[in-house]
Amino acid sequence: MLSRDKSLVAAEVLARWQHPERGLLAPFHFIARAEELSLIDELTWSLFEQAIGQFGRWRTMGTNLSMSINLSADSLGTVDLPEKIASLVAANHIPYDAIRLEITESRLMKNLKTSLDVLARLRLKNFGLSIDDFGTGYSSLAQLNSIPFNELKVDRAFVHGAAADPAARAILESSVMLARKLDMTVVAEGVEDQSDWDQVEAVGCDLVQGYHVARPMPADQFELWMETWNERNIA
Ligand code: G
Ligand code: MN
């Protein structure tokens, strides 16, 4: 994720499955199934351990990057989740506010009641909370206001191509306005080209993410990319 001056603010952890026959699979192909089979907690936790460990090593190298990690709404029923995440993060010497937890809007709204307590306790510990794929989940204003999110990520359906699509642009603009009123940071997902970049800049998004910035890449490659990004882009 980049800020408007193109400085690197955060990186999102993206799950991939190296399948022996089907090649490299994106989350679309396995997350919903893992949720159905109640395997999602195990998968998420394995990702957390790998990602937080890696992030701890990057922080020791001196970066003050944040890390965004996707959390399934299904996991928010686990009462000891805030303590579990907190001890992993603390063990790696990472401040809680350098971690942003992303929860998909549509799945969250289905079991909001049971999730609220866990979300509130995560936020009290100072973890960042992001509402992901915003615009696809029909949250009401009252619901949004009842959850302590501090970041809203507009779904790429309303970002990529928005310059030429008045309906998408209307949703993008209203999402930015809403986030402002609720005092949340706004992230535009799916910025794939310069025209998307210009559009999200014009409507006032705070942060930008997408193929135009970088394609998803393995951690060792990202380490090199990160080292040179600021040098290449900030005069
Ligand atoms: O639901 P969530 O926003 O966490 O989805 C992230 C997924 O979106 C990742 O698997 C990633 O590969 C994909 N992605 C990231 N940036 C872009 C982009 O600019 N365009 C498209 N089409 N997909 C993207
Ligand atoms: Mn996400």
Q: Say what the pTM is.
A: 0.95
Q: What is the dihedral of CA 190, 150, 207, 87, to 10 degrees?
A: -90
Q: From the CA of 27, give the closest atom in ligand 1.
A: 10
Residues 153, 209: Cα–Cα separation, whole Å: 10
Distance 28 CA to ligand 1 centre (A): 10
Residues 86, 177: Cα–Cα separation, whole Å: 32
Residues 17, 91: Cα–Cα separation, whole Å: 27
Task: Give the strand pairing for 151-154 and 128-134.
Answer: parallel
Task: Give the strand pairing for 185-188 and 99-104.
Answer: unpaired
**For the segment 34-47, what is each residue's pLDDT rounded down to a tens digit?**
999 999 999 999 99
At 235 the pLDDT is: 53
Residue of 156, 200, 213 with the most ligand 1 atoms within 8 Å of its CB, for mutation: 156
**For the segment 181-204, what is each residue's pLDDT rounded down to a tens digit?**
999 999 999 999 999 999 999 999
User: Confidence band (pLDDT; 50, 70, 90) for 88?
Assistant: very high
Please report, for residues 9, 85, 93, 109, the alpha-carbon distance to residue 81 in angstroms, rounded to integers and kept in the order given. 26, 6, 19, 19
Distance 102 CA to ligand 2 centre (A): 6
- Tokens at residue 191, please? 């910025």
Q: Which residues line ligand 1 (CB under 6 A)?
A: 14, 26-27, 70, 132-133, 156, 189-192, 210-211, 216
- Tokens at residue 84, please? 């579990």
